[in-house]
Amino acid sequence: MAGTFSLRIVSPEGDLLKENVEFVVFPGAMGELGILPNHAPLIAGLDIGVIRYTLNGSVKQAAIAGGFVEVVDNSAIVLADTAELGGQIDVKRAMEAKERALKRLSARTNEIDVRRAELALRRAAARISAYGDKK
């Protein structure tokens, strides 16, 4: 193993994850952001998407709905708006949320907040994708 660093994911509900990982990819606001041990200090905004991290040689995933990451002193701390580990996602609920968002977007009436429906669709898609390693 080439080394590890601490990954901590925190949401308003509390600590979601604290592990020593080999590699992590974040859904950055400007594109994906990969972090290895001994990365230079960094603060970046995060988008809706999936965090992929390598733990003991196995790739794990977590869905987030935005936030920030700080990388410093061989540690990455994520402050997420919402976060769920792939294995803890209720995929049935995520699929239902995706269907609701698609119906809202296809209706396109004046009563529909299109931006809100688009964000709901992206969040549902991220949750389904993060769950994907458990299928």
Residue 105's pLDDT band (boundaries 50, 70, 90)? confident
| Cα gap 7→115, rounded to integer Å | 32
Determine the pLDDT at residue 52.
97
Are 60 and 27 found together in one domain?
yes
Residue 135's pLDDT band (boundaries 50, 70, 90)? very low
- Among the candidates 86, 104, 123, a domain finishes at 86
Residue 76 has pLDDT above 70, yes or no: yes
Are 59 and 20 found together in one domain?
yes
Are 73 and 95 found together in one domain?
no
Are 45 and 82 found together in one domain?
yes
Are 30 and 72 found together in one domain?
yes
Query: What does the mean pLDDT of the chain come to?
Result: 92
Q: Which of 1-15, 30-44, 103-117 has the weakest average pLDDT?
A: 103-117
Are 48 and 22 found together in one domain?
yes
- Token pair recorded at residue 104: 């809202």
Query: What's the mean pLDDT in 23-48?
Result: 96
Its domain, for residue 16, covers 5-86
Q: What is the CATH number of the domain that holds 116?
A: 1.20.5.440
- The residues, ordered by sequence, that sit 6+ positions from 110 with a Cβ below 8 Å of its Cβ are none
Residue 134 has pLDDT above 70, yes or no: no
Are 102 and 46 found together in one domain?
no
Query: Pairing relation of β-strands 23-28 and 58-72?
Result: unpaired
Are 71 and 24 found together in one domain?
yes
Domain count, the chain: 2
Are 15 and 69 found together in one domain?
yes
Which whole-number Å values give the CA distances from 61 to 110, 120, 124, in the listed order?
37, 19, 15
Query: What's the mean pLDDT in 54-83?
Result: 96
Query: What's the mean pLDDT in 29-40?
Result: 95
Are 69 and 128 found together in one domain?
no
pTM here is 0.88
Are 103 and 43 found together in one domain?
no
Longest dimension (CA), the chain: 56
pLDDT tens for residues 51-68? 999 999 999 999 999 999
Are 51 and 66 found together in one domain?
yes
Determine the pLDDT at residue 133.
55
